[in-house]
Structure formats: C-alpha cells, structure tokens
C-alpha cells in the first residue's frame, strides 16, 4: 500500500480518516526535516551545557529541580519510559493505535520537539511494517500528555513492551526484528517528546468524530424512511423555513431529506384530505435536531484538526528565538471539550431516532400501521421489544454524555493540579457510537417494515434502494423470530456507511 505523505501543520480530516479507516502507512513530508534537525541540534547543545533545561538534564514533574549528569541522559530517558508504562485495561484497537502513532509523527514533525530524525523514521517503519504497540486503554488523565498510553508506544521503540504484528502479540524487540527494524537508544528529551502530548486522546476523539458523522448521515436516511412509513408531512422540510433560521446543518439536513423523499407515492397519497395538522416533533423537527448535531460535530472537527497538527510536548524548542521553553501544550482541554461536544451530538441523534421508533410501533400514533409492525399482532409481538432495547440504549447514552472535562483532579504531588480527563472523555465515544448505531439499525428495520405495509404505494427511488439493501441482509418480519442477530446486522449496515451509500443522494459533508 502506497504510504500517505503528511505535511506537519497541514494534515486534513480526510487524511486522518484514511489512516483510521483504511490503516494506510504514513510518512512525513521530507521538507519538514531541516526544522526537525535544527531542534535536535538545539537539544544536543543544551544537554552538553551547564544550564538546567527541563527534561533534558533534569528530573520530571515534581522532580524537575534535580539535575541529571550528561552521562546519565540515556538512562534518564529509558527510565522515564519504563516508569510511565502504567496503563491498565484491555488493549486499544489496531486502528486507534495506528492513528495515535500518525498523530505523534505530525507533532514531532513540527520541528519543536528536539528529537532526531531516526525517531520519526522508526515510527514510520513501524506503521509501514505493521508493528502496532499493545497499548492499555486506561491510565491517562489527559494532562502532562497522555503519559501512560504513549509510554507503552515508546516502550516498543526501545525494544521493550509488547506489540501486535500479523495478528500475533509478541515482545516489542521480537516484533521490531521480524519487521527488519532496530530499537533506538533515546537521546536527550526524546523519551519526554514521545510521551508528552495529546495523541491518545485526539485519536479516540477523531474516531468518535468520524463514526459520529457516519451515524448522522445514516440518521438522515433512516429518518426520511420513517417519515414515509408513518405518512409524515414534508412541508416542514421546505427550504424557506430553514433559510429563515440560517443554521448550516439544519439547512443541509432538510435539503438532504427533501432529496431522499422526492417522488414518493406514499407522500403524494396524503397531501390532500389528511386530518392530521402537525406531526410529532421527532418527525417535524428532524432538521433542527440532527442538523444542529451536525453543526456541533463540525465545531469539534475544527478543534481536532487543529490539535492533530499541533506540537503538544514539553519543553518546546523555539529555534528561531534560540530558546527551549517549558509550556503547557500537553494539556488536552481542547480535546476534552471536543469529545464532550461529540458525546452530546451522539446522544441527541439517538434520542430523536428512538422517538421515531416508538412512534412507528405505536398503533395510536403510526397512522394505521399494525401494532408493533407485525402483520399478525397478538400471536406475534413484532418489534415491541426491539423498541424497548432502543430506549435502554438511548438512556445509557444520555448518562454517558455527561461532561468529562469538568471533572478535574490533582495528580503528581499537586504539580499537575488541573487535568482535562480528555482520554476517557474521548474513549467513551466508542461505546456511545455502538449504542447509536444499534438505535439507528432498529429504526432502519422498523421503517423498512412500515413502508412495506404501505404497498402498493411505493416510497421514493432513493429510499427504495435503502430498503432493497436492507433486505439483502435482513428479510421482512412476518411471524416472530429471534431478532438479536438481525439488530446487529442492521447496526453494522449503519456503521459501515452502506445505508447512506445505498440511497445515492448527496449528503452533507463534514469538511467545508
């Protein structure tokens, strides 16, 4: 696979999505090397000098006042990695780990970290050869960098720790040797440069963002299908309504839904003589809710794209100024805020989708569809408990969506006395996405079933394609059967983007 060349400071969301979804190898644009070399030379000079420079010839954190002899530089950096390998819990996925490594490349490539080019080359080699460090999921509070998880990455680089290669977990040194790579002896500050930074939190937040946008696209499709299933009105989708408010996401969501419903015989059949004056909010206000969630995701995307291109370790080498300065770019507060924003968007997309499911199974509200969407109610329960499952998932997501970034606690003998909690704020997006995709999967099955009951009236061509794609994997429900496997299949169709793709309609884009 041809490597993706990244230019530090200019990587795009599309680049990062390719790394996450396609797991493409990555290398840095060689044009960034002079800046990297200049910063490394500045660190080498500082290490040989007499002035104390944090992390170069001093201890770390609360021990920063202790001087380290030049002869002990390599030991200092190695001990830093070993002592910080304190992660616990299950290892993170290969996709998350590789994205984290690529983000570390981008940070080091800014030429402010002071590492030698061979550190960058080793990460590039590991990505190219499929050497993925085994990184426990828990242990970072998202300040002073994602120290524990990044230390587990760095451990493999020095020939320690564990790595996965070709589906097999093995000692880090063995994995490097199998890939034809050699471990490095860390120079001044290099261990600190590797473990200081927000790359773990940012990788998980980006994964949540990318999955969340796919879910938002799918929600536009399933919501349009649900609208046709309950014979909802398309009047609330008129462009004039949304132009008067002006929000981009709302305007684009309404436009997408109009395109999805265009040409529906079901819709045309009740334009006249429908006694209903207004639909419930879960039908009428879909652009206002899903569109707002899309706008929130875009706000988070801006933050995360900026963070992905940032130098976030400490201290930083200001080459032009001839200074090495301690700062706080490792504090993941921006990532924590972005993760909380994404969580809110996921929870709300799921909340309104769940109400559409509830609407479709309710014979009082679903405009003459059979109870629980079964052709033989009473003897059969249809989608009764599938709706209950969506209620459970919706409620779980609402609880998980509570802000994490406001929950600080002091660490490291009060030296690091305010932290972002961005790491688990971003990690929780994965379970939230699984819940959301299952809610949307149930909506897909219910809406397809509901539209089927409207025959011989046909839905629109785009939505008919969605139903046909769904029926390739999940047949219509007649007599009761075990639904759990089908709910998982439907969730996978949503998560993969297959449902949005089947519609064949232009949907809103995450990037401008």
Q: Up-side HSE of residue 137: CA atoms within 13 Å toward CB? A: 14
Q: Are 398 and 347 a contacting pair, CB within 8 Å?
A: yes
Query: CB atoms < 10 A from the CB of 375, how many?
Result: 14
Q: Which residues, in sequence order, are CB contacts of 189 under 8 Å at separation 6+?
A: 43, 47, 55, 56, 77, 113, 114, 115, 315
CA–CA separation, 55 and 326 (whole Å): 10
Distance CA(77)–CA(293), nearest Å, equals: 44
315 preceded by cis ω (within 30°)? yes
Report how far apart, in Å, the C-alpha atoms of 357 and of each of 33, 222, 449, 462 are.
55, 10, 11, 21
Judged by DSSP in three states, 120 sits in: helix
Alpha-helical segments (H) within 362-497: 384-400, 422-427, 429-452, 461-473, 484-496
Whole-angstrom distance, CA of residue 394 vs CA of residue 439: 8
Whole-angstrom distance, CA of residue 25 vs CA of residue 126:
9
Judge whether 154 and 183 are in contact, CB under 8 Å. no
Structure tokens of 6? 């990244």
User: Based on C-alpha coordinates, what's the Rg of the chain?
Assistant: 26
Catalytic residue among 20, 54, 281, 383: 54
20 is catalytic: no
Indicate which residues carry an active-site annotation.
54
């Amino acid at each position: 696979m041809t490597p993706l060349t990244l230019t530090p400071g200019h990587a795009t969301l599309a680049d990062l999505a390719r790394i996450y979804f396609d797991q493409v190898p990555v290398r840095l644009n060689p044009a960034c090397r002079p800046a990297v070399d200049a910063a490394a030379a500045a660190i080498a000079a500082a290490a040989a000098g007499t002035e104390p420079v944090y992390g170069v010839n001093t201890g770390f954190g609360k021990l920063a006042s202790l001087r380290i002899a030049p002869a002990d530089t390599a030991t200092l950096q190695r001990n830093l990695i070993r002592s910080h390998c304190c992660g616990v819990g299950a290892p993170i996925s290969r996709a998350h780990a590789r994205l984290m490594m690529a983000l570390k490349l981008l940070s080091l490539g800014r030429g402010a970290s002071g590492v030698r080019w061979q550190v960058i080359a080793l990460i590039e080699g590991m990505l190219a050869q499929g050497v993925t460090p085994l990184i426990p999921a828990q242990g970072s509070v998202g300040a002073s960098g994602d120290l524990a998880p990044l230390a587990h990455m760095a451990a493999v680089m020095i020939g320690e720790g564990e790595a996965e290669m070709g589906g097999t977990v093995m000692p880090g040194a063995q994995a490097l040797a199998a890939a034809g790579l050699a471990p490095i002896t860390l120079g001044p500050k290099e261990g600190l440069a590797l473990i200081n930074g927000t790359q773990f939190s940012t990788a998980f937040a980006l994964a949540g963002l990318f999955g969340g946008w796919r879910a938002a696209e799918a929600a536009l499709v399933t919501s349009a299908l649900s609208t046709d299933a309950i014979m909802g009105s398309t009047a609330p989708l008129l462009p004039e309504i949304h132009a008067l408010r002006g929000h981009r996401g709302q305007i684009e969501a309404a436009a997408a839904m109009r395109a999805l419903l265009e040409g529906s015989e079901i819709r045309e059949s009740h334009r006249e003589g429908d006694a209903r004056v207004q639909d419930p909010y879960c039908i009428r206000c879909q652009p206002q809710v899903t569109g707002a969630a899309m706008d929130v995701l875009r706000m988070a995307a801006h933050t995360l794209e900026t963070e992905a291109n940032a130098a976030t370790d400490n201290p930083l080498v200001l080459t032009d100024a001839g200074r090495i300065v301690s700062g706080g770019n490792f504090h993941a507060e921006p990532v924590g805020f972005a993760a909380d924003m994404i969580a809110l968007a996921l929870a709300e997309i799921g909340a309104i989708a769940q109400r559409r499911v509830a609407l479709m199974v309710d014979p009082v509200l679903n405009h003459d569809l059979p109870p629980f969407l079964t052709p033989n109610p009473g003897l059969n329960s249809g989608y009764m408990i599938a709706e209950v499952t969506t209620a459970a998932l919706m409620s779980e997501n609402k609880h998980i969506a509570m802000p994490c970034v406001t929950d600080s606690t002091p660490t490291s003998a009060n030296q690091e006395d305010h932290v972002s909690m961005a790491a688990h704020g971003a990690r929780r997006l994965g379970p939230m996405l699984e819940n959301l995709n299952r809610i949307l999967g149930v909506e897909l099955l219910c809406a397809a079933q509901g539209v089927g009951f409207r025959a011989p009236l046909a839905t629109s061509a785009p939505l008919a394609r969605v139903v046909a794609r769904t029926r390739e994997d999940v047949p219509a429900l007649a007599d009761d059967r075990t639904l759990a496997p089908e709910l998982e299949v439907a969730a996978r169709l949503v998560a993969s983007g297959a449902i949005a793709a089947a519609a064949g309609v232009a949907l809103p884009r995450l990037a401008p």
